């Protein structure tokens, strides 16, 4: 059944060796070169991916730093605005108090003038009334300058209250 043919075995061996040499020279080297290029391409892609990951991590860190700086600036602006508002409020309150004090002083001055005017008017009326009563009592008429002198002396002798 199975016969060994020496010529066929030699030719099979020669063809196999020739095929190995031809493939080794023309097929194997390009195949290895192609595999090497693919391996290098994959390695480059992995390196680039690692670089991109590192850059993304750096960008994330920088973004977090910028966010924290922006938050600090926001807090500072809010503190400054509150401080300025408090200062402005204090200035407005102080000015209002000063204005109120000036108005109170002006009102006191006006009241004092009105009181003095009323006292003068009252003195004049009291003097006229006293002279009128004195004329009726004495039934004689005194001149106006004597009346005023007598009334002024009498009013000066009265207590100031």
Question: What pLDDT is attached to residue 109?
Answer: 94
Which ranges constitute the DSSP H helices of the chain? 6-22, 29-138, 144-157
* Residue 8 is assigned to a structural domain of this protein: no
Mean pLDDT of 20-27: 83
Q: CA-CA distance, 141 to 134, in Å (whole number)?
A: 9
| DSSP code at position 140 | S
| DSSP code at position 139 | T
Question: What pLDDT is attached to residue 75?
Answer: 95
Mean pLDDT of 147-153: 75
CB-based burial label for 46 (10 Å; 0-12, 13-18, 19+): exposed
* Residue 36 is assigned to a structural domain of this protein: no
The pair of three-digit structure tokens given for residue 94, joined into one six-digit string: 């102080």
* Residue 127 is assigned to a structural domain of this protein: yes
What's the pLDDT tens digit per position in 66-120?
A: 999 999 999 999 999 999 999 999 999 999 999 999 999 999 999 999 998 988 8
**Dihedrals phi, psi of 141, to nearest 5 degrees:** -105, 125
Total count of domains within the chain:
1
Question: What pLDDT is attached to residue 78?
Answer: 95
* Residue 29 is assigned to a structural domain of this protein: no
Closest-CA residue to 121 (of 113, 110, 133) = 113
* Residue 122 is assigned to a structural domain of this protein: yes
* Residue 2 is assigned to a structural domain of this protein: no
Q: Tell me: pLDDT of 146 over 80.
A: no
Q: Tell me: pLDDT of 45 over 90.
A: yes
114 touches 120 (CB < 8 A) = no
Question: What pLDDT is attached to residue 63?
Answer: 96
* Residue 69 is assigned to a structural domain of this protein: yes
* Residue 28 is assigned to a structural domain of this protein: no
Domain that holds residue 59: 46-157
Average pLDDT, the chain: 86
């Amino acid at each position: 059944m199975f016969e060994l043919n020496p010529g066929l075995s030699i030719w099979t061996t020669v063809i196999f060796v020739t095929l190995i040499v031809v493939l080794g020279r023309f097929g194997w080297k390009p195949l290895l070169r192609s595999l090497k290029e693919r391996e290098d391409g994959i390695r480059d892609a992995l390196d680039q991916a690692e670089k991109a990951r590192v850059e993304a991590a750096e960008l994330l860190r920088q973004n977090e730093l910028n966010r924290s700086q922006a938050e600090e600036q926001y807090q500072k602006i809010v503190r400054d605005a509150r401080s300025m508002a408090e200062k402005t409020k204090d200035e407005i309150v102080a000015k209002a108090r000063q204005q109120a004090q000036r108005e109170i002083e002006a009102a006191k001055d006006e009241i004092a003038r009105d009181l003095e005017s009323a006292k003068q008017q009252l003195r004049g009326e009291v003097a006229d009334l006293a002279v009128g009563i004195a004329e009726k009592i004495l039934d004689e008429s005194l001149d106006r300058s004597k009346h005023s002198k007598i009334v002024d002396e009498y009013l000066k002798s009265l207590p100031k209250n």
